Structure 1
Amino acid sequence: MAQFTPIRGFVNTPVSKSICIIFTIAAVMVSILEIKYFFNLQVDPFILEYSQYWRIVIYQLTVVNESDYLICILLWFSYKNLERFYGSRIYLSLVTVLALYNALCCFIVMSVGQLITRLISYALYAKLGWISEVEAFDQMIFNKVIPGPLGIISSLYICYGKVIPVSYRFNIVLSAPTPPSLPEDDNSNEFELESEDLTKNTSSRELTLTNHLQIHILYTLLILNNGYLSIIPCMVGLFLGNLHVNELLPGAKWTLPNSVYRAFVHPVQTISKLSGLFDRNVNGGYERLSRSSDSLVDDGQDQESEDQTNNGEQVIRAETPVRPLGSQFFDTFRT
């Protein structure tokens, strides 16, 4: 089976690993808790009537169906080559910038499209007396989009095709090659066909593909998976991706603080450090010794007491005068 990337696993790609883990946990928790409706981005009624602008921020965090999850997780896994190209911290910064731009631009496109739709519906239908058609016309492409990071993935799709080189190409033969026809009265040239003529005759019957084929197939499925609900975020993402690769996207070179990057890549270590700082503040600046430290202190105290005992024995032995060998011999047989 062909690999999506030349290096297996998440070798030197901690950001891609964290994104896949967080994306999976978020999708599972949303499905278990049955809160998929929180992530729907719809102009009418959520934005116009209820003013729920927080949906613009969170609608890209997770998907609401299994097919979108499978395609997105495969594309996130394939984009780990981008992390190796940009570097982990710059790649995470790029994903953050693209997420902000996609959320804002997608909402602007939906709002402007909704306004233009209402104007067109009023001009075409209200003036003609067909007032009932206005409500149906509002429920079209500019009113709702599918939740998920489709815009971010679309922007990274353009970056992938721009910066990741092609490793190999392969040909798919669509039909068997047919030799060129020869005149009937000229049998001497039957086995003297030139290679150039044969190449020209068979070139149109082959399809040349690259190792980027998997990415193209997955992204095409992502666009077509939800019909017109995927059009706006994907088109906006492709537009922003082209701006980025042409260095026309403002703020694209901004980088996240190192503390934020480490918290995203190593959340367990960050939580342990924060808990240690909290314990220090609660205990007045002192940190409780661990069990290993306590054992080291106890061992040190035991060693110190043992040394003191040995030193005491040495002192006592030093106070006793050493008796000569002759005195010891006579004392033995004196009794």
Structure 2
Amino acid sequence: MSFHNGPVTKALMLTLGANTFIVGAFQFKHYFRLQLVPHITKYTQWWRILSYQAAFQSSSELFISQILLYNVSVALERVYGSRKFSSYIFVSGVVSTTMTVLGMLAAGWFGINTSFAGPIPILFSILYSYYRVIPSAYRYRIFGVSLTDKTPYYVMATFLALINAPESIALATIGILTGAACRSDILPFKSYRLPSWINKVASAFRPLIGSTEPGYRPNSVLPELGQSGTHVPTSSNGEAIGSAGVDIAEPSVMNRSPVEAQNQTTGREPTSEEISQLSAMFPEATRVQIVNAISSTSSLEAAVERLVQ
């Protein structure tokens, strides 16, 4: 299974899967529910405020959530970056938990004692940002109804919201409100980022998740000059031209290596001291990855952040 630069999503999927399996196998489900009476008011079990979003209550919920996370969360993490995406999940957990507790207190005034369980609010908060940030790739019609490539994910999310109604509907609503709050310009959640030291600690677990450095993708659409059987059209003065008659880069530019191309863009030349320092901090990273990170950023701290992501 390839996660395509989705280390945070992969960690989230593995954590939820392991927690749900352990909770179900050892019959611990009753510890992962949150209810105002008697859990909070009678037994003062405040730790349930943190545990109720740690695992799903059924395998069907887990199955749907894993499909959604793999297809939705990875796409969102590609756009946000790993640090911003992990910060978004953290803020979503805090905001959704606060909304859940306040909702339970408000419902208690009307004699409603609802029990909540599962990380559905975080999942629907991710879905809300996916709806707002990721555009549709294509559209199609079935029986005259206009649909997009994102429609199947929304249908599965609807099933997840109805699977344990009305509790799951309430959690899904809290998740959507959480996503709107986290993306709001009025509240400070949108610009919040986790401290950098957390990223440094998380980098120690990188071998367990796998390599996340994207491969080099050249910008040139023409084949390398000098290859056998390759002919590049030229103008009257000997310059290479494209199919539309527009001059293209000279051969020296086309044959430039990835590192040289990055240096040409940023004008920053990595020093041996910087390379040695990052090699000691990231022993799993290759020299090419380290040089590319330094060359494409304006400071060593930014290069560290890119390698962590």
Q: Given the two structures, how large is their TM-score scaled by the length of structure 1?
A: 0.58
Alignment-derived partner of residue 99 in structure 1: 93
Deviation at 1:69, TM superposition (A): 0.6
Alpha-carbon spacing, 1:101–1:12, altered in 2? closer, same or farther (3 Å): same
1:237 to 164, 175, 179: 175
**Superposed CA RMSD:** 1.9
Q: Deviations over 1:225-252 (max 9, x none)?
A: 0010112221111112123333233333
Alignment-derived partner of residue 268 in structure 2: none
What is the alpha-carbon distance in structure 2 between the residues aligned to residue 155 and residue 32 of structure 1? 28
Give the total of aligned pairs: 207
| Residue 212 (1) aligns with residue 150 (2) | yes
| Residue 87 (1) aligns with residue 81 (2) | yes
Alignment-derived partner of residue 53 in structure 1: 46
Alignment-derived partner of residue 114 in structure 1: 108
SS in structure 2 of the partner of residue 85 of structure 1: helix
Q: Given the two structures, how large is their TM-score scaled by the length of structure 2?
A: 0.63
Paired letter, 1:149: P
Paired letter, 1:74: I
What is the alpha-carbon distance in structure 1 between the residues aligned to residue 125 and residue 180 of structure 2? 7
Deviation at 1:266, TM superposition (A): 4.4
Alpha-carbon spacing, 1:17–1:164, altered in 2? closer, same or farther (3 Å): same
Q: Which has the higher contact order (CA 8 A, sep 6+)?
A: 1
Alignment-derived partner of residue 18 in structure 1: 11
Deviation at 1:87, TM superposition (A): 0.3
| Residue 157 (1) aligns with residue 142 (2) | no
Gaps of 5+ in 2: 209-309
Structure with larger Rg: 1
What is the alpha-carbon distance in structure 1 between the residues aligned to residue 203 and residue 33 of structure 2? 28
Name the one with the larger helix percent.
1
SS in structure 2 of the partner of residue 255 of structure 1: coil
Gaps of 5+ in 1: 1-7, 119-137, 175-205, 271-335
SS in structure 2 of the partner of residue 251 of structure 1: helix
Question: Where does structure 1 differ by over 6 angstroms across 4 or more consecutive aligned residues?
Answer: none
2:114 to 137, 143, 150: 143
Q: Deviations over 1:140-190 (max 9, x none)?
A: xx5212x11111111111111100011000111x2xxxxxxxxxxxxxxxx
Q: Is the Cα contact below 8 Å between 2:184 and 2:190 reproduced in 1? A: no
Determine what percentage of the aligned residue pairs are the same residue.
28
